[in-house]
Amino acid sequence: MQFRSNQFNIPEVTKNIIIINIILFLATLSLPKLGINLTELFGMFYVESNHFKIWQPLTHVFMHGSFTHILFNMFGVWMFGARLEQMWGPKRFLNFYLITAAGAFLLHF
Crossing angle, helix 12-30 and helix 67-76, to 10 degrees? 170
pLDDT tens-digit profile of 69-97? Answer: 999 999 999 999 999 999 999 999 999 99
Mean pLDDT, rounded, of the chain: 93
Structure confidence at residue 105 as a pLDDT band (50, 70, 90):
very high
Report, as an integer, the average pLDDT of 16-40: 96
pLDDT computed for residue 1 by the predictor: 56
For the domain with range 12-108, which CATH number is right: 1.20.1540.10, 3.40.1390.10, 1.10.3720.10, 3.40.50.300?
1.20.1540.10
pLDDT tens-digit profile of 38-61? Answer: 999 999 999 999 999 999 999 999
Q: What's the predicted TM-score (pTM) here? A: 0.86
